[in-house]
């Protein structure tokens, strides 16, 4: 009797050059929201991808474009969406500002559906100034169990966190009256990411240069979403047999389980164009003591994990 062949995703997950993927579960589907990877002047739109099993992915084109954002003129990247009260809020970086005098920073768009289309919610950036030395780029939104929403962001070696109000399009204040808090861990460069597991906060970020082979991901553990975040070590980095420049990731948890997957971009071996980045997925495994094992990058990707079956099983 012929053994049934196990379906695997393969890496990269889908065709095209994409980077900085954020991964979510929305409306009974797995979603990936990446940057369209091209020279800055060509990064003028966002696409999204969805799947019901991690293997077959469907592309939704141009869920948000530069023409939809009155203040954006150069480069859109690093999206991070979240759902609240039936609406989808989509945070993104635009214009790569170099000083407080430049127009740009982190924007927010909104839609009734995870596939968009999204519309600019403010007509201006949500964050458009440098605070504690952090360039306002690479937003990552995290919703805690109590419904508090936090937005982590930053480049130029500094990371900040802000609290979002319930409307998700304005900034709140912390208990001490502050709006911005610096939470920069050692060796932080960009690309923050936060998850919560067993009441522990896992804060992750990218190190190295995104155009260089040593791009990688490190992490810290804390009992608070505000840190302190003391660096433990790298969990994702280049493998001379597989790919280089592995970093700026998102995380997927199979609903109702303790199965976790890291979704990230990397550069195929032999590629020298820094914009040649592709989105991949691999298992992320926690040891019994709660630490994260170094991720083994693969060409095979992951086994099919039908989302409905997972939800029904648990």
Q: Tens digit of pLDDT for each residue in 217-235?
A: 999 999 999 999 999 999 9
Residues carrying an active site annotation:
20, 190
| Token duo for residue 3 | 């053994």
Give the C-alpha separation, 135 to 98, whole Å.
7
Q: Tens digit of pLDDT for each residue in 158-209?
A: 999 999 999 999 999 999 999 999 999 999 999 999 999 999 999 999 999 9
Give the C-alpha separation, 221 to 197, whole Å.
10
58 part of a folded domain: yes
Cis preceding-peptide flag for 228 (omega within 30 of 0) = yes
pTM for this predicted structure? 0.96
208 part of a folded domain: yes
Give the C-alpha separation, 282 to 280, whole Å.
7
> Would you give per-residue pLDDT tens digits along the chain (314 residues)?
445 678 999 999 999 999 999 999 999 999 999 999 999 999 999 999 999 999 999 999 999 999 999 999 999 999 999 999 999 999 999 999 999 999 999 999 999 999 999 999 999 999 999 999 999 999 999 999 999 999 999 999 999 999 999 999 999 999 999 999 999 999 999 999 999 999 999 999 999 999 999 999 999 999 999 999 999 999 999 999 999 999 999 999 999 999 999 999 999 999 999 999 999 999 999 999 999 999 999 999 999 999 976 555 54
Burial annotation 93-128 (CB, 10 A radius, 16+ → b, else e): bbbbbeeeeeebbbbbbbbeebbbebebbeeebbbb
Give the C-alpha separation, 209 to 190, whole Å.
9
- CA dihedral angle for residue 135, residue 138, residue 139, residue 145, rounded to 10 degrees: -120
How would you classify residue 272: left for phi > 0, otherwise alpha for psi between -120 and 50, otherwise beta? alpha
6 part of a folded domain: no
Is 285 buried (19+), middle (13-18) or exposed (0-12) by CB count in 10 A?
Answer: middle
Backbone angles phi, psi at 248, to 5 degrees: 40, 85
The domain that holds 241 is classified in CATH as: 2.115.10.20
147 part of a folded domain: yes
234 part of a folded domain: yes
Domain count, the chain: 1
| Token duo for residue 299 | 């060409």
10 part of a folded domain: no
9 part of a folded domain: no
For residue 7, the 8-state DSSP code is P
Backbone angles phi, psi at 229, to 5 degrees: -115, 100
7 part of a folded domain: no
Range of the domain at 100: 18-313
Beta strands at 45-51 and 58-65: parallel, antiparallel or unpaired: antiparallel
């Amino acid at each position: 009797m012929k053994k049934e062949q196990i379906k695997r995703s393969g890496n990269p997950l889908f065709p095209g050059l994409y980077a900085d993927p954020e991964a979510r579960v929305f409306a009974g589907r797995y979603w990936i929201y990446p940057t369209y990877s091209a020279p800055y002047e060509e990064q003028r739109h966002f696409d999204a991808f969805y799947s019901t099993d991690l293997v077959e992915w469907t592309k939704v084109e141009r869920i948000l474009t530069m023409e939809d954002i009155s203040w954006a003129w150069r480069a859109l990247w690093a999206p991070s969406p979240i759902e609240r009260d039936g609406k989808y809020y989509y945070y993104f970086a635009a214009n790569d500002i170099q000083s407080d005098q430049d127009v740009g920073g982190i924007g927010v768009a909104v839609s009734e559906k995870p596939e968009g289309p999204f519309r600019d919610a403010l007509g201006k950036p949500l964050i458009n100034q440098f605070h504690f030395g952090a360039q306002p780029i690479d937003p990552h939104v995290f919703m805690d169990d109590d419904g508090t929403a936090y937005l982590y962001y930053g480049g130029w070696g500094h990371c900040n966190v802000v609290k979002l109000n319930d409307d998700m399009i304005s900034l709140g204040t912390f208990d001490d009256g502050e709006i911005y808090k610096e939470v920069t861990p050692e060796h932080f460069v960009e690309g923050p990411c936060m998850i919560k597991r067993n009441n522990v906060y896992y804060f992750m970020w990218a190190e190295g240069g995104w155009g260089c082979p040593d791009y990688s991901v490190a992490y810290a553990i804390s009992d608070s979403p505000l840190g302190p975040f003391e660096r433990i070590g790298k969990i994702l980095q280049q493998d001379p047999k597989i790919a280089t420049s592995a970093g700026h990731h998102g995380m997927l948890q199979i609903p109702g389980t303790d199965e976790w997957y890291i979704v990230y971009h990397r550069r195929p071996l032999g590629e020298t164009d820094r914009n040649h980045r592709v989105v991949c997925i691999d298992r992320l495994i926690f040891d019994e003591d709660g630490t994260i094992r170094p991720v083994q990058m693969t060409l095979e990707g992951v086994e099919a994990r039908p989302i409905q079956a997972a939800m029904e099983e648990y």
